[in-house]
Structure 1
Amino acid sequence: MTIPEAGTPSEPARMPVEVRRSARRKRTVSADIRDGVIRVSIPGHFSATQERHWVDRMVERMTAKHLPPAGSSPDEAGKALLQRAERLAQQYLGGRGIPSTIGWVTNQNTRWASATPAHRSIRLSHKLQGMPEWVVDYVMLHEMAHLIEPSHNAAFWALLTTYPRTETAKAFLDGAAFAAQRNLTGGQDSL
Protein backbone atom coordinates (compact mmCIF):
# COMPACT_ATOMS: atom_id res chain seq x y z
CA MET A 1 0.00 0.00 0.00
CA THR A 2 1.37 3.43 -0.88
CA ILE A 3 0.26 6.49 1.04
CA PRO A 4 0.53 9.68 -1.02
CA GLU A 5 2.51 12.68 0.06
CA ALA A 6 0.90 14.70 2.82
CA GLY A 7 1.17 18.37 3.44
CA THR A 8 -0.75 21.49 4.30
CA PRO A 9 0.30 25.11 4.10
CA SER A 10 1.59 24.84 7.69
CA GLU A 11 3.12 21.37 7.26
CA PRO A 12 5.68 20.57 4.57
CA ALA A 13 5.02 17.72 2.14
CA ARG A 14 6.62 14.41 3.03
CA MET A 15 7.87 11.54 0.94
CA PRO A 16 5.42 8.90 -0.26
CA VAL A 17 5.06 5.91 2.08
CA GLU A 18 4.81 2.25 1.18
CA VAL A 19 3.65 -0.24 3.84
CA ARG A 20 4.81 -3.83 3.56
CA ARG A 21 3.16 -6.54 5.64
CA SER A 22 5.02 -9.78 6.27
CA ALA A 23 3.73 -13.02 7.79
CA ARG A 24 7.32 -13.90 8.69
CA ARG A 25 7.76 -10.70 10.70
CA LYS A 26 6.46 -11.30 14.24
CA ARG A 27 7.18 -8.19 16.34
CA THR A 28 9.64 -5.85 14.67
CA VAL A 29 8.89 -2.78 12.62
CA SER A 30 11.50 -1.24 10.35
CA ALA A 31 11.72 1.56 7.85
CA ASP A 32 14.10 2.69 5.15
CA ILE A 33 14.10 5.06 2.22
CA ARG A 34 14.52 3.73 -1.30
CA ASP A 35 14.01 5.67 -4.50
CA GLY A 36 12.42 8.56 -2.59
CA VAL A 37 9.83 6.34 -0.89
CA ILE A 38 9.69 5.59 2.84
CA ARG A 39 9.16 1.82 3.11
CA VAL A 40 7.72 0.66 6.42
CA SER A 41 7.76 -3.09 7.10
CA ILE A 42 5.33 -4.39 9.72
CA PRO A 43 4.10 -7.79 10.94
CA GLY A 44 1.21 -9.15 8.89
CA HIS A 45 -0.99 -9.60 11.96
CA PHE A 46 -1.05 -5.89 12.94
CA SER A 47 -4.48 -4.29 13.14
CA ALA A 48 -5.28 -1.15 11.15
CA THR A 49 -4.81 0.89 14.34
CA GLN A 50 -1.39 -0.67 15.02
CA GLU A 51 -0.41 -0.12 11.39
CA ARG A 52 -1.37 3.58 11.49
CA HIS A 53 0.48 4.06 14.82
CA TRP A 54 3.68 2.44 13.57
CA VAL A 55 3.59 4.02 10.12
CA ASP A 56 3.14 7.48 11.66
CA ARG A 57 5.93 6.81 14.14
CA MET A 58 8.38 5.51 11.54
CA VAL A 59 7.56 8.25 9.02
CA GLU A 60 8.15 10.87 11.71
CA ARG A 61 11.47 9.23 12.61
CA MET A 62 12.64 8.91 8.99
CA THR A 63 11.52 12.42 8.09
CA ALA A 64 13.33 13.92 11.09
CA LYS A 65 16.53 12.12 10.18
CA HIS A 66 16.51 12.48 6.41
CA LEU A 67 14.85 15.79 5.70
CA PRO A 68 16.50 19.08 6.55
CA PRO A 69 15.04 21.36 9.23
CA ALA A 70 12.08 23.53 8.27
CA GLY A 71 13.18 26.55 6.31
CA SER A 72 16.14 24.82 4.69
CA SER A 73 16.33 22.71 1.58
CA PRO A 74 18.08 19.34 1.20
CA ASP A 75 20.69 21.19 -0.83
CA GLU A 76 21.35 23.58 2.07
CA ALA A 77 21.78 20.70 4.55
CA GLY A 78 24.16 18.90 2.19
CA LYS A 79 26.03 22.12 1.47
CA ALA A 80 26.61 22.72 5.19
CA LEU A 81 28.18 19.27 5.63
CA LEU A 82 30.21 19.67 2.45
CA GLN A 83 31.49 23.08 3.59
CA ARG A 84 32.50 21.54 6.91
CA ALA A 85 34.29 18.72 5.06
CA GLU A 86 36.11 21.24 2.86
CA ARG A 87 37.23 23.22 5.91
CA LEU A 88 38.48 20.05 7.63
CA ALA A 89 40.28 18.92 4.47
CA GLN A 90 42.07 22.26 4.16
CA GLN A 91 43.02 22.32 7.83
CA TYR A 92 44.09 18.70 8.34
CA LEU A 93 44.47 16.88 5.01
CA GLY A 94 46.22 19.41 2.83
CA GLY A 95 43.03 20.01 0.85
CA ARG A 96 42.69 16.34 -0.13
CA GLY A 97 39.86 13.89 0.59
CA ILE A 98 36.95 16.22 -0.11
CA PRO A 99 33.84 14.13 -0.84
CA SER A 100 31.51 14.81 -3.75
CA THR A 101 28.55 13.92 -1.49
CA ILE A 102 28.17 13.66 2.27
CA GLY A 103 25.03 13.17 4.33
CA TRP A 104 23.30 11.72 7.36
CA VAL A 105 21.78 8.22 7.14
CA THR A 106 19.76 6.06 9.52
CA ASN A 107 20.67 2.64 8.17
CA GLN A 108 24.12 2.39 9.79
CA ASN A 109 23.63 0.76 13.14
CA THR A 110 27.02 -0.92 13.54
CA ARG A 111 29.24 1.80 12.06
CA TRP A 112 29.65 5.48 12.82
CA ALA A 113 30.13 6.26 9.13
CA SER A 114 31.24 4.81 5.80
CA ALA A 115 32.92 6.00 2.64
CA THR A 116 32.86 4.82 -0.95
CA PRO A 117 36.08 6.00 -2.60
CA ALA A 118 34.86 5.10 -6.11
CA HIS A 119 31.96 7.56 -5.74
CA ARG A 120 33.75 9.91 -3.33
CA SER A 121 30.73 9.67 -1.04
CA ILE A 122 30.49 9.66 2.75
CA ARG A 123 27.54 8.56 4.87
CA LEU A 124 27.39 9.60 8.54
CA SER A 125 25.28 7.65 11.02
CA HIS A 126 22.50 9.69 12.59
CA LYS A 127 23.77 8.34 15.91
CA LEU A 128 26.60 10.90 15.69
CA GLN A 129 24.10 13.75 15.87
CA GLY A 130 24.29 15.33 19.30
CA MET A 131 27.85 14.15 19.94
CA PRO A 132 30.56 16.77 20.48
CA GLU A 133 31.59 18.58 17.31
CA TRP A 134 35.22 17.44 17.68
CA VAL A 135 34.04 13.80 17.63
CA VAL A 136 31.99 14.36 14.47
CA ASP A 137 34.97 16.18 12.94
CA TYR A 138 37.16 13.15 13.66
CA VAL A 139 34.64 10.77 12.05
CA MET A 140 34.39 12.99 8.99
CA LEU A 141 38.19 13.18 8.74
CA HIS A 142 38.45 9.40 9.18
CA GLU A 143 36.09 8.84 6.24
CA MET A 144 37.76 11.57 4.17
CA ALA A 145 41.10 9.82 4.77
CA HIS A 146 39.50 6.69 3.27
CA LEU A 147 38.87 8.67 0.09
CA ILE A 148 42.65 9.11 -0.09
CA GLU A 149 43.74 5.71 1.30
CA PRO A 150 40.99 3.03 1.38
CA SER A 151 42.61 0.61 3.85
CA HIS A 152 43.53 1.03 7.53
CA ASN A 153 47.26 0.84 6.82
CA ALA A 154 50.11 3.02 8.12
CA ALA A 155 49.59 5.57 5.33
CA PHE A 156 45.93 5.91 6.32
CA TRP A 157 46.68 6.49 10.02
CA ALA A 158 49.46 8.93 9.11
CA LEU A 159 46.82 11.13 7.45
CA LEU A 160 44.99 11.47 10.78
CA THR A 161 48.03 12.43 12.87
CA THR A 162 47.42 16.10 12.05
CA TYR A 163 44.07 16.10 13.89
CA PRO A 164 44.97 16.71 17.55
CA ARG A 165 41.93 14.93 19.01
CA THR A 166 42.15 11.65 17.07
CA GLU A 167 42.92 9.43 20.07
CA THR A 168 40.45 11.21 22.36
CA ALA A 169 37.70 10.96 19.74
CA LYS A 170 38.41 7.26 19.19
CA ALA A 171 38.17 6.71 22.96
CA PHE A 172 34.92 8.68 23.11
CA LEU A 173 33.39 6.58 20.33
CA ASP A 174 34.57 3.35 21.98
CA GLY A 175 32.87 4.46 25.21
CA ALA A 176 29.67 5.42 23.37
CA ALA A 177 29.59 2.05 21.61
CA PHE A 178 30.21 0.22 24.91
CA ALA A 179 27.37 2.11 26.61
CA ALA A 180 24.99 1.58 23.69
CA GLN A 181 25.64 -2.18 23.60
CA ARG A 182 24.71 -2.41 27.25
CA ASN A 183 21.80 0.05 27.19
CA LEU A 184 23.63 2.27 29.65
CA THR A 185 22.56 5.86 30.04
CA GLY A 186 24.65 8.65 31.44
CA GLY A 187 23.69 10.98 34.20
CA GLN A 188 25.03 12.42 37.39
CA ASP A 189 23.14 9.88 39.49
CA SER A 190 24.51 6.88 37.61
CA LEU A 191 27.55 6.38 39.86
Structure 2
Amino acid sequence: MTEPQVEVRRSKRRKQTVSAYRDGGRVVVLLPARMSRAEERRWVDEMLSRLRRSETRRKSPARASDDALLNRCAELSQRYLDGLAVAAGVRWVAPMRTRWASCTPAEGTIRVSRRLREVPSWVLDYVLVHELAHLLVPGHGADFWEWVNRYPRTERAIGYLEGLTAAADLGTGVGEPESGDEVD
Protein backbone atom coordinates (compact mmCIF):
# COMPACT_ATOMS: atom_id res chain seq x y z
CA MET A 1 0.00 0.00 0.00
CA THR A 2 1.52 3.32 -1.03
CA GLU A 3 1.62 6.13 1.46
CA PRO A 4 -0.48 9.13 0.49
CA GLN A 5 1.04 12.53 -0.14
CA VAL A 6 1.18 14.38 3.19
CA GLU A 7 0.88 18.13 3.65
CA VAL A 8 1.83 19.48 7.09
CA ARG A 9 0.28 22.78 8.13
CA ARG A 10 1.60 24.52 11.23
CA SER A 11 -0.36 27.12 13.13
CA LYS A 12 0.73 29.53 15.87
CA ARG A 13 -2.83 29.57 17.17
CA ARG A 14 -2.91 25.79 17.55
CA LYS A 15 -1.44 25.07 20.99
CA GLN A 16 -1.79 21.34 21.69
CA THR A 17 -4.08 19.53 19.30
CA VAL A 18 -3.06 17.60 16.23
CA SER A 19 -5.60 16.63 13.59
CA ALA A 20 -5.64 15.21 10.09
CA TYR A 21 -8.06 14.82 7.22
CA ARG A 22 -8.09 13.66 3.62
CA ASP A 23 -8.21 16.26 0.87
CA GLY A 24 -8.46 14.43 -2.42
CA GLY A 25 -5.46 12.14 -2.76
CA ARG A 26 -3.45 13.71 0.05
CA VAL A 27 -3.60 13.85 3.83
CA VAL A 28 -3.42 17.22 5.57
CA VAL A 29 -1.96 17.15 9.09
CA LEU A 30 -2.51 20.21 11.30
CA LEU A 31 0.13 20.81 14.01
CA PRO A 32 1.10 23.47 16.54
CA ALA A 33 3.88 25.67 15.13
CA ARG A 34 6.16 25.05 18.16
CA MET A 35 6.44 21.30 17.50
CA SER A 36 9.91 19.93 16.66
CA ARG A 37 10.62 18.05 13.41
CA ALA A 38 10.94 14.80 15.37
CA GLU A 39 7.52 15.38 16.98
CA GLU A 40 6.14 16.26 13.56
CA ARG A 41 7.36 12.93 12.09
CA ARG A 42 5.91 11.00 15.03
CA TRP A 43 2.55 12.78 14.75
CA VAL A 44 2.34 12.41 10.98
CA ASP A 45 2.89 8.65 11.36
CA GLU A 46 0.34 8.49 14.17
CA MET A 47 -2.31 10.44 12.23
CA LEU A 48 -1.81 8.31 9.09
CA SER A 49 -2.29 5.22 11.24
CA ARG A 50 -5.46 6.65 12.81
CA LEU A 51 -6.91 7.56 9.42
CA ARG A 52 -6.23 4.03 8.10
CA ARG A 53 -7.92 2.45 11.14
CA SER A 54 -10.90 4.76 10.83
CA GLU A 55 -11.29 4.02 7.13
CA THR A 56 -10.95 0.27 7.70
CA ARG A 57 -13.77 0.39 10.27
CA ARG A 58 -15.99 2.29 7.85
CA LYS A 59 -15.41 -0.34 5.15
CA SER A 60 -16.04 -3.31 7.43
CA PRO A 61 -18.96 -5.68 6.75
CA ALA A 62 -20.71 -4.35 9.85
CA ARG A 63 -21.29 -1.07 8.03
CA ALA A 64 -22.07 -2.69 4.71
CA SER A 65 -24.98 -2.03 2.41
CA ASP A 66 -27.80 -4.53 1.97
CA ASP A 67 -26.08 -5.84 -1.19
CA ALA A 68 -22.82 -6.30 0.71
CA LEU A 69 -24.72 -8.23 3.41
CA LEU A 70 -26.17 -10.52 0.75
CA ASN A 71 -22.69 -11.10 -0.69
CA ARG A 72 -21.33 -11.79 2.79
CA CYS A 73 -24.09 -14.35 3.35
CA ALA A 74 -23.10 -16.13 0.14
CA GLU A 75 -19.44 -16.25 1.31
CA LEU A 76 -20.40 -17.52 4.77
CA SER A 77 -22.75 -20.16 3.33
CA GLN A 78 -19.96 -21.43 1.08
CA ARG A 79 -17.43 -21.50 3.89
CA TYR A 80 -19.51 -22.95 6.73
CA LEU A 81 -22.77 -24.36 5.33
CA ASP A 82 -21.55 -26.20 2.23
CA GLY A 83 -23.18 -23.50 0.07
CA LEU A 84 -26.61 -24.96 0.85
CA ALA A 85 -28.13 -21.88 2.53
CA VAL A 86 -29.01 -19.36 -0.17
CA ALA A 87 -30.57 -16.10 0.96
CA ALA A 88 -32.88 -14.42 -1.54
CA GLY A 89 -32.42 -11.10 0.24
CA VAL A 90 -30.72 -9.61 3.28
CA ARG A 91 -31.36 -6.14 4.62
CA TRP A 92 -30.74 -3.88 7.57
CA VAL A 93 -33.90 -3.01 9.49
CA ALA A 94 -34.82 -0.69 12.34
CA PRO A 95 -33.73 -2.03 15.73
CA MET A 96 -35.88 -4.99 16.72
CA ARG A 97 -37.28 -5.11 20.24
CA THR A 98 -36.38 -8.70 21.07
CA ARG A 99 -34.00 -9.99 18.36
CA TRP A 100 -30.70 -9.30 16.66
CA ALA A 101 -31.98 -10.67 13.37
CA SER A 102 -34.71 -12.81 11.90
CA CYS A 103 -35.41 -14.78 8.77
CA THR A 104 -38.36 -16.03 6.79
CA PRO A 105 -37.30 -19.44 5.43
CA ALA A 106 -40.24 -19.69 3.02
CA GLU A 107 -39.06 -16.50 1.29
CA GLY A 108 -35.33 -16.94 1.97
CA THR A 109 -35.09 -13.45 3.43
CA ILE A 110 -33.03 -12.25 6.38
CA ARG A 111 -33.45 -9.03 8.35
CA VAL A 112 -30.61 -7.73 10.52
CA SER A 113 -31.09 -5.15 13.27
CA ARG A 114 -29.20 -1.90 12.68
CA ARG A 115 -27.97 -2.24 16.27
CA LEU A 116 -25.45 -4.71 14.84
CA ARG A 117 -23.83 -2.11 12.56
CA GLU A 118 -21.28 -1.30 15.27
CA VAL A 119 -20.34 -4.81 16.42
CA PRO A 120 -17.11 -6.47 15.30
CA SER A 121 -17.42 -8.19 11.91
CA TRP A 122 -16.97 -11.65 13.45
CA VAL A 123 -20.08 -11.09 15.60
CA LEU A 124 -22.12 -10.00 12.58
CA ASP A 125 -20.81 -13.05 10.72
CA TYR A 126 -22.09 -15.29 13.53
CA VAL A 127 -25.56 -13.67 13.35
CA LEU A 128 -25.62 -14.16 9.57
CA VAL A 129 -24.55 -17.83 9.87
CA HIS A 130 -27.25 -18.32 12.54
CA GLU A 131 -29.95 -16.91 10.25
CA LEU A 132 -28.61 -18.79 7.21
CA ALA A 133 -28.82 -22.02 9.22
CA HIS A 134 -32.54 -21.32 9.68
CA LEU A 135 -32.87 -21.54 5.90
CA LEU A 136 -31.73 -25.16 6.30
CA VAL A 137 -33.34 -26.09 9.62
CA PRO A 138 -36.26 -24.35 11.33
CA GLY A 139 -36.12 -24.06 15.10
CA HIS A 140 -33.13 -24.39 17.40
CA GLY A 141 -32.75 -28.16 17.67
CA ALA A 142 -29.51 -30.14 17.73
CA ASP A 143 -29.37 -30.37 13.91
CA PHE A 144 -29.64 -26.57 13.69
CA TRP A 145 -26.76 -26.08 16.16
CA GLU A 146 -24.62 -28.58 14.26
CA TRP A 147 -24.75 -26.19 11.30
CA VAL A 148 -24.24 -23.03 13.37
CA ASN A 149 -21.32 -24.48 15.33
CA ARG A 150 -19.37 -24.89 12.11
CA TYR A 151 -18.67 -21.17 12.49
CA PRO A 152 -15.56 -21.19 14.73
CA ARG A 153 -16.45 -18.13 16.78
CA THR A 154 -20.02 -19.12 17.63
CA GLU A 155 -19.51 -19.41 21.37
CA ARG A 156 -17.48 -16.22 21.57
CA ALA A 157 -20.04 -14.26 19.51
CA ILE A 158 -22.91 -15.50 21.69
CA GLY A 159 -20.97 -14.30 24.75
CA TYR A 160 -20.41 -10.91 23.10
CA LEU A 161 -24.12 -10.55 22.32
CA GLU A 162 -25.08 -11.64 25.84
CA GLY A 163 -22.78 -8.98 27.24
CA LEU A 164 -24.19 -6.36 24.88
CA THR A 165 -27.70 -7.34 25.90
CA ALA A 166 -26.88 -7.17 29.60
CA ALA A 167 -25.10 -3.84 29.26
CA ALA A 168 -27.95 -2.27 27.35
CA ASP A 169 -30.71 -4.24 29.10
CA LEU A 170 -32.15 -4.87 25.68
CA GLY A 171 -34.00 -8.05 26.62
CA THR A 172 -33.29 -9.84 23.32
CA GLY A 173 -33.62 -13.25 24.93
CA VAL A 174 -30.01 -14.23 24.25
CA GLY A 175 -28.88 -16.18 27.27
CA GLU A 176 -32.33 -16.05 28.90
CA PRO A 177 -32.73 -18.84 31.45
CA GLU A 178 -34.38 -22.02 30.25
CA SER A 179 -37.55 -23.11 32.02
CA GLY A 180 -36.57 -24.87 35.24
CA ASP A 181 -33.38 -22.85 35.67
CA GLU A 182 -33.09 -20.92 38.89
CA VAL A 183 -33.28 -17.16 38.59
CA ASP A 184 -32.03 -14.88 41.34
Using the size of structure 1 for normalisation, the TM-score is 0.54
Contact 2:93 2:113 in 1 (8 A): yes
Q: How does 1:113-124 map to 2 (within 5 A)?
A: 113-124=101-112
| RMSD over equivalenced CA pairs, Å | 1.4
Q: Which residue of 1 aligns with 2:12?
A: none
1:134 to 115, 122, 127: 122
Asked if 1:97 is matched to 2:85, the reply is: yes
Give me the whole-angstrom Cα distance separating, in 1, the residues matched to 2:97 and 2:86. Answer: 24
Structure 1 unaligned residues grouped into runs of 5+ = 1-75, 183-191
Contact 1:109 1:125 in 2 (8 A): no
Give me the whole-angstrom Cα distance separating, in 2, the residues matched to 1:110 and 1:180. Answer: 12
- Letter matched to residue 170 of structure 1: I
Structure with larger RCO (C-alpha < 8 A, sep 6+): 2
Report SS of the residue matched to 2:65: helix
Contact 1:105 1:124 in 2 (8 A): yes
Give me the whole-angstrom Cα distance separating, in 2, the residues matched to 1:118 and 1:90. Answer: 20
Give me the whole-angstrom Cα distance separating, in 1, the residues matched to 2:68 and 2:119. Answer: 17
Contact 1:89 1:97 in 2 (8 A): yes
Give me the whole-angstrom Cα distance separating, in 1, the residues matched to 2:144 and 2:106. Answer: 17
Give me the whole-angstrom Cα distance separating, in 2, the residues matched to 1:113 and 1:152. Answer: 14
Asked if 1:161 is matched to 2:149, the reply is: yes
Q: How does 1:139-154 map to 2 (within 5 A)?
A: 139-154=127-142
Shift of 1:110: 1.4
Residues 62-98 of structure 1: per-residue CA shift (max 9 Å, x gap): xxxxxxxxxxxxxx93321111000000000000112
Identity %: 46
Q: Which residue of 2 aligns with 1:112?
A: 100
- Letter matched to residue 158 of structure 1: E
Give me the whole-angstrom Cα distance separating, in 1, the residues matched to 2:166 and 2:86. Answer: 30
Contact 1:104 1:124 in 2 (8 A): yes
Shift of 1:107: 4.5
Give me the whole-angstrom Cα distance separating, in 2, the residues matched to 1:181 and 1:107. Answer: 14
Shift of 1:161: 1.9
Contact 2:95 2:115 in 1 (8 A): no
Give me the whole-angstrom Cα distance separating, in 1, the residues matched to 2:118 and 2:73. Answer: 18
Q: How does 1:1-191 map to 2 (within 5 A)?
A: 77-181=65-169
Report SS of the residue matched to 2:78: helix
Q: Which structure 1 residue ranges, 4+ long, deviate > 3 Å from structure 2?
A: none
Between structure 1 and structure 2, the one with the greater Rg is: 2
Give me the whole-angstrom Cα distance separating, in 2, the residues matched to 1:77 and 1:170. Answer: 24
Report SS of the residue matched to 1:136: helix
